[in-house]
Amino acid sequence: MKEDDENMARIAEYKPPEWLEMALAECAAPARFGQRWKEAALVAYSVKKLRRERESAGFMALPVANYVESLAKLATVDLREVLTWAAVSDLRELTLETIAPMIHLLQKLGVGLREALILVRIGMADAAGFDTISAMAKRSGDRRENELETCEAELLEVESQYPRDLYMRVRQVLSRAAEAFGEDRR
């Protein structure tokens, strides 16, 4: 943690070498170039910390917003800049229009497609007022090896109770999420 804080401080305090400042001045680089560079470096470092925390924590059966917020808290990362960079305006808004940036963010954090879809499904069930988390906790007990299968089974049961319009909306969002996962966004 101390090393992370020191690295963040170094990025924030970075002063480019004189030759770089002169080269930027000669090519008429915008005045905010240096500030934008620092912001980009801080976001990249924050994403790296989130990814490292995700690798350590692994999958957690939570709504996608709670999952990302938990990772940020564990990694001591301010999510605002990361969300702005990822074009995610609200972690809890899971619609056809907002799902692609959310999926791309999850990919950058090292979340695979199967886990990403489960997190989104839990988030949508939670937003619709269905209590999936306590049901999953009762069903899974302390066994973590089958957690994904347990979540999927519980979600199928919960989703069978959805009104038709909600069920169709969830399927459309999941289809768009799977498409977005395959898109190349470098």
Please give the tally of structural domains in the chain: 1
Picking from 122, 133, 121, 137, the residue whose alpha carbon sits closest to that of residue 177 is: 121
Which range of residues forms the domain containing residue 77?
A: 2-182
pLDDT of residue 137: 54
The burial class, CB within 10 Å (0-12 / 13-18 / 19+), for 6 is exposed
What b/e sequence results for 68-91 when a residue is b if at least 16 CB atoms lie within 10 Å of its CB, and e otherwise? beebbeebebebeebbebbebeeb
Decide: 78 and 108 in contact? Cβ < 8 Å.
no
Neighbours of 118 (CB within 10 A): 24
pLDDT of residue 112: 94
Q: At what angle do helices 99-108 and 64-75 cross, to 10 degrees?
A: 40
What tokens appear for 55 in the block?
């690798």
Q: For 91-145, what is each residue's pLDDT tens digit?
A: 999 999 999 999 999 999 999 999 999 999 999 999 999 877 655 655 555 455 5
User: In the 3-class helix/strand/coil scheme, how is 58-96 assigned residue by residue?
Assistant: CCCCCCHHHHHHHHHHHHCCCHHHHHHHHCCCCCCCCCC
Low-confidence ranges of the chain (pLDDT < 50): 142, 186
pTM listed for this prediction = 0.79
